[in-house]
Structure formats: structure tokens, C-alpha cells
Structure 1
């Protein structure tokens, strides 16, 4: 059954849907609840895709490869992607409301980051596909003639896109845009926590003229649900995933069947290195963002802070004051600066680390518990921003990714000590380096074992540059031409002249 998006969202109770072959497909089986993390109120009932619905989506994507989409030029695809970007911005308020209700994040964050970047991703890769070059060579042939070799990029096929809940539209389109720019088709499995914006994008795709079957969405969970059905489907040619390292490991095992390639951006336990010669106020404000933005639910966020001893006490005092100035409250209020965690389940996980820190003897500089909220937010997944000191490096709190609004601060004396501590992790996603010594900045950035090293900044992104993690933080790179590598295969054409 096909239903327009506005009727789905305004149904009573509100409904979410799959989007398959250009149509909204409502529930035929099990439903699960999508609740607002800020209030605990029901946002929508969401259908859980069964194996046959996932198969329908993959088959629709395969058919679209051989239809009009497969015969389009790069210029035609790029023009359609720009229309998608325009469509997101035209419906900015719809996407913003959906993202806030699903995630609980403050409007001040979602309006300036999530929705604009969701649209920008399509424009960036429309530009990129028109600018990327391949190689060509002339060669001598054994009979004394010549041949011309040149390479062309061809789409990989049907791409499974498994996207996370912390930046739902931004990170989903970060994968969908380059996949479509390269001529692939996609089946998206959004997080069960944040199903709405992926669904809404289907309507924008139709309005932009994207052919049916090019963009599909199946709702559900991971194991024994839509995620597993999709990653194991033999009609899928590649899998891209952002999320936990443990889930990435399971997906990689599924991808081995049929030898499908994967692109992963996984977990992190990111470090900030704050040197005594830094601009102290800039370092404090930068770390405030990197530790507490989106309630700490950012894969690039800072959970380990190493501060050179001469400024250690001043840094801790200033960061404490800044963290205590964050304002929890109505996510739709522009003055709110800290939203809730995504769910009660995730809050239980983060609180278990708060308890572990206390048991391991941490000094609690600030926070450490549940934020005190009044109605209608008393039932939300609120938590206090938390700062610790005094834990050893081998502490579980310093080793495992928590994904909450918290950080541990430790003093150091020498540069080598700080670099060694930052690298002493199975993860290698990001680092922030705060110093006004340009030689040290370049030196340390080259030594930290991460995919991206920021100097005197955090979350500053040029979308043309490579993005991804080292060690257990990922496989491959996204962004710019690097983001096109996964979504295409190179074919050599050899022409005897």
C-alpha cells in the first residue's frame, strides 16, 4: 500500500514507513515505537521490514540500474542531485522538526549543522563527480603499432547504506550522495532510533525526478531484522556503515559471503592534546564543543584530554565552569545548548560508566548523574555533562568508547608523553591539538595515529578531504574523490590504433 508522506506523519498514531521503488509502503507486520528522547513521548510507530520487504527493496534497486538511471550521463545525475539538495532546503522546517523529534538534539545544533549539511552533501558530490579524472596511456604494440589505454569509472551496483542515529540525515546523505553521483542505487537502513528523515527524503527524491528504485528505505533493527537481511542479501554489491566497531565486525563477516567490499566509519576514543603555549580560552571552548556537543554523541568527540602541567589546573577550572553553563531544556528553544541522550537504554549504558569511574576512584570535577528536569522533560533521557580527573590510563573509562557528554583530563609534561598516551588506544579516528607553536603542530599531527588531526579547531571539515579512521576506527575513506573510490570500479579500456 502506498501513502503520501504527509498522511503517514499526521496519522493517529503517527506512522513511519518504508520507501520502496518510489512508493511509501506502510506496515504489513510488526511495529515498534519511536520515542522522543527529550520527553519520552511517542513520535511514531515504525514498521519492521521482514525479509521479503528487504528483498523487494533490493530487487527494485537492481531493476533501476538497468533503467533510465543507468543510461544517464554524469551531467544528468549531477543536475538531479542538485534538485535533491534544493528540495531538502525547501522543506527545511519539515526535516528540522523530524530530526529534533527523533534525536532530541537542540535546534541550535540541528538547524546549523544537520539539515544544511544533509543538503550540502548532494551539491558537493554533484561537483565532485564532474571534476574527477582518470588516467590514459599510449603504448607500443608488438606489431609496431600503437594502442591507447584509458580508465573509466563504472558504478559498483546496489549499495547497502547502514546509517547511525547521532547525525541521521547528515551521515546518511554523506553516503547516499556519492553513491548516487557514481550511478549506483541504494537501499538505506536507518537506525531504528531515528527513522523519519530517511523516509522523508524519499518524497524529495520523487519531486526531484530521481527514478523509482534508485533510493529505497527499509526500517527495522540489526540482528535478525532488516539490517542483517540487507547485509546478507546476495543482490547487494557493497556495504557502507557508520556505527559501533562491534557491529562493523558482524557486517564484515556477512560481507565476506560473496566477497562484497565494505566502507566503515567506526568507533573512537579520541584525544585532545593541550600544550602550555596554546590559546587557553580557545582550547577550553574547543574542548567544550568536542566533549559535549550533541550530548557527547559524536564519533569524533573527545573523551580523553591531555593537558600540559603548567596550565592543567587553570584548564580544568575553566572547562568545569563552561560545562556547568550548558543549558538543558526544550530542544525547540534556541537558547538550549545541551539535549538528551538518544534513549533510556543508552543512558543506562553511559550511567554505568559514570558509576565505573566513581568505583575506580575518579575525582568528579562536575556532573556524574542524571540531570534534574521538570515536566514535560522529566521522562526524557537527560544526563549531566561530566568531567573526571585522577584515573589511570588502563581504566575502563579511559579505554572504552562511552559516547556520552563526558571526558577525563590528565596532566602531562613532555610532548612524547602526550603523543604516546594519545596513541595508546585500539581506536584511531580523530585528535585535536592545541598549540601556537607551528612546528609542534605539524610534528604532532604527523605522529598521532588517527584519520583526522585538527590543530586549534574541532569539527572543521572541508568535504573535499579524506575522512575516516585508522586501526579499529574504520576501513576506507569518505569525502572528495576518496569518497568516489568505494562507489565505483575502474575499468581499463584498451584500443589498438
Structure 2
């Protein structure tokens, strides 16, 4: 086997933090690891509590003017950001592959066009973001509402789709007139800093700030800061619980986009060719490291065996390798820790008697990739859906095939966990599609498709999947507050006081 063709990203210098328009060092540094080979590729700044203090202060100072900018100005800035990123976006494909193992081909399909689309979407809809005039019984009262920005937003990002997550939080926050301090994941900081370098001076200094470092130091200082007006977080429930504990002490409202265990229901009348392809994309895109992954396959008895056979044939043929190689269809997991977590889930499933239908085969990798964090695509069989892994988010290329006999059984199974982010139904029966979509406990329900998240479609969940909505007009409400203005149009006042002396 010939050595894989590497297209790893090479930074021009060590990475610094962006605070108040200046690039500044941290209290120390830490290494970024290329997950395809398991070796360092960049040096990042370890931010301190003092850095966070400076960043929040810069954002607070910038808010005084940014909140008063016109909609025209903010729209123009958002469009300029989209144009700048589009003009300099190609290098982000190799950057993402090097940073977090995202296959380089996927960046062109998903990450790059989505970032552009998000900024352009908010540039458009911000013009329609307004208050209301509320009719009252009293004709001498004018009551209307205004939408006002909150202040400094703290955005804590995940590592799996970093630049998309950045756009999901920064675009609506600044569109609504807020300033922001971003704390990227330590596993995906370079792409955020590179993106900020491209777009940063399109914004006044302090409107966008970025502090980097490990969560217990940098992140904890940020989410507990008393001058933060809103916390927005994408990640897992455990970290969300810690963040919400800090938010409770400062009474800071929060938006939480958390994990999922997406059930994909395939009825007996479904188009199997389409359903199998959608299921493969739903779980193996982004190496399975996606909160909206189709990690549960609920298959009707009549089509279960054929579906599993078709799915398995393709899953076994997926090319796993260096994320920077365009020939790789799936890359490594983001870190050794994540690989160990996924393998721990698989060991637990085997101990419970779950059948490994695909995924126990040995990976045939070039020796140069021996230090990488690779996991072959996995399909498990758990017919009655009772295994622990069927109810737990794995966050890797692992999905579970279950069987069902009736629609009612499928719905009950799909809803029998604490997650409520994404679900899907494959059927040619319009009545079944509408009925199941209505009964599934999820913030997103796809019918005969998966992974379609166009800007404008509210994204968010319930239960352990969090609360709040991103990617939509609704999100602007998350980053603003309603002010009621009540105006009296009449000077008459009924006498209420001193009546005894009259």
C-alpha cells in the first residue's frame, strides 16, 4: 500500500487570542494534535482568567456603540463577512481535516457553504426583526414593543463542526446588536482563530473576541463572569450542567444545543435505496461525531433484513483514512480520549450481548497513520432496543439496528430516552408521515431525508438535548430582550386622591 497523500495545514505562526482588536498571547501554550497521525501540528494560547476579564471588558466597551448601529450597517457587515470568508475559504478544508479529522471532501460539501449561508441569512432577516404595536381596549393608549440587544454574549463552542457552530452563534448575536466573547474547544481552536483573522477587522474592535484554552480554566472564567448577558453553548449534557450551575449564580440566561440519539424510523413501504443511503450519511458523515446523527435505526420487520444487508455492504466498503486525503470517506475521531470513549461504549455493548453486524474487521491502514485515532464504521444489532448503547449518545460512527412491528411500537421506542433533538420517518404514506412527525418527541423531524439543516430551519431540542433554537429567525429572539413602551395619548386623569376634602 502506498503512503496516503497528505494535505495537512501548516500554520504560519503560533496562534494568539483576539481581545479588543489585538492579538495577544496567553498565560501559557498548549499543543493541537493532528488526529490522523496523533502528532502536534500547532501551538495555541492558554488563556487565563485575566485574559477573560480583558475580553469581557473589551466587549462591554464595544457594546456601547455597536448596539446603536443601524440595521443597514449590521447588514453590510454580515454580508462583508460572508464575502471575505468565501474569497478565502478553500484553505479551511485542509485546516479542518488537520484540526479535528473532518474528511477534507466534506468541508467543501458542508462546512464552507454553510458558514457563508448563515451569515447571509442573518444579513437578510435582520431587516425584518422588529417589535409590534399591540392594540388595546383604551383608544388613548399606544403600546408597542422594541427588540433590544442584551449585551456581552459568551459563546462556548464544540469541536465537531467548529466554524459552523461559530457562525450559528456569532452571526445572530452581532446581527441583533450584541458583542461576543468566543471560547472554542481546545480540540478546534485554530479554525476559529483563522476565521477571525479573515473577518475580524470587518467589525469594530471588541465586538468579536476569542479566548482559547482548556475549559476548566478559560471556559469556567467566562461563563461565570457577572458581565455576561447570555451564554450560548454547544456540547454535551455534563458540561452544560456545569455551565448552568455558573449561570444560576449570576442569573444569566442560556441557550443550550446539546446531544442526541436520533431515531430513524423506516416503514415497510419506504424506498429502501433512499433510506439506506440517508442512514449511511446520517451516521457516518462527520465521522459520526454529530449531535444529529442517525444513531438508531428502527426498521420494520418486513424490511429489516434487506435493509441491514444493503447497509452492511456499503458500510464495510467505506474508505477510512487520513482526513487530509481526498480519497478518505471517513477520517479519525478527534482525539485519543474520544476514541477510548467510543470503544468503551462498544465493549459495554458486547458485554450486554449486542451483536456486532459490521465493524469488527481489522482496519488496513498505512503504517504512517499508526498513531491516529481511527474507528471503523459500526452497525450493531439490538432487535428489542433494550441495550444501554441504544439509549446512550456514542458520538462516533456507531449506529444500532432495531426491529418493530407497528407504528405505535416505533414511536414508543423512539421516544423512550431523554434526548429530543432529531428524528426521522421514511415512508410513502403521507398520513403516516404526518402522524409520526406529530408524535415524535424531537425538535427536528425529517421525513424521507436526514441531515438537511438549511438556514431558516430552527435547530434545537428538548430534554437532555437542551433548549433554545439556532439557525433561524427565532434565534434573533434568543439574543434580544423585549421592551414595552406604553404612551398615554390623553391628559385626563380620574380623581383618586384627597376625595374626602372635596
Query: What TM-score range do you get, normalising by the shorter chain?
Result: over 0.9
- Map residues 139-288 of structure 1 onto 2, 5 A cutoff: 139=136, 146-208=140-202, 210-223=203-216, 225-288=217-280
- Aligned residue pairs total 480
CA distance in 2, matches of 1:369, 1:487: 48
Residue 430 of structure 1 is aligned with which of 422, 439, 446? 422
Answer yes or no: is 1:58 the counterpart of 2:56.
Answer: yes
- String of CA shifts for 1:187-206, please: whole Å, max 9, x gaps: 00000001112112222233
Distance in structure 2 (CA, Å) of the matches to 1:206 and 1:312: 51
Paired residues of 2:301 and 2:404 also in contact (CA < 8 A):
yes
Deviations 1:204-247 (A, max 9, x none): 23342x10000000001112x11100000011111000110111
Give the conservation status (yes or no) of the 8 Å contact 2:67–2:149.
no
Distance in structure 1 (CA, Å) of the matches to 2:399 and 2:471: 28
- Any stretches of 5+ residues in structure 2 without a counterpart? 1-9, 490-502
Q: Specify the SS of the correspondent of 1:33.
A: strand
Given candidates 376, 395, 402, the residue that maps to 1:403 is 395
Cα RMSD, aligned residues only: 1.5
CA distance in 1, matches of 2:333, 2:396: 7
The 3 A distance-change label for structure 1 pair 314 and 151 is: same
CA distance in 1, matches of 2:341, 2:363: 15
2:35 aligns to what? 37
TM-score by length of 1: 0.94
Q: Please report how far the alpha carbon of residue 138 of structure 1 lies from its aligned counterpart in structure 2 after TM superposition.
A: 4.7
Larger Rg: 2
Partner SS for 2:90: helix
Alignment check: 8 A CA contact 1:103 1:166 kept: yes
Inter-partner Cα distance in structure 1 for 2:147 and 2:94: 38
Whether contact under 8 Å (2:15, 2:44) holds in the other structure is yes
Answer yes or no: is the 8 Å Cα contact 1:370–1:383 preserved in 2: no
Cα distance per residue 1:254-296 (max 9 Å; x no partner): 1011211000011111111011100001000000011111111
Do the aligned residues in 1 keep the contact of 2:322 with 2:332 (CA within 8 Å)? no
Q: Is the 8 A contact 1:267 1:429 kept in 2?
A: yes
State the Cα distance separating 1:416 from its structure 2 match.
0.4
- The answer on whether the counterparts of 1:354 and 1:368 sit within 8 Å (CA) in structure 2 is no
User: 1:478, CA displacement in angstroms?
Assistant: 1.6
Name the TM-score, length of structure 2 as normaliser: 0.93
- CA contact under 8 A between 2:36 and 2:371: conserved in structure 1? yes
Question: 1:5 aligns to what?
Answer: none
- Where in structure 1 do 4 or more consecutive aligned residues deviate above 6 Å? none
Q: SS of the residue aligned with 2:356? A: strand
Distance 1:244 1:405 in 2: 17
Which stretch shifts more, 50-59 or 199-208? 199-208
Counterpart CA distance in 1 for 2:290 and 2:306 is 26
- In structure 1, the partner of 2:19 is 20
Q: Is the CA contact 1:34–1:193 (under 8 Å) kept in the aligned structure 2?
A: yes
Q: CA deviation at 1:330?
A: 3.1
Between the aligned partners of 1:48 and 1:275, the Cα distance in structure 2 is 51
| Counterpart Cα distance in 1 of 2:443 and 2:12 | 43
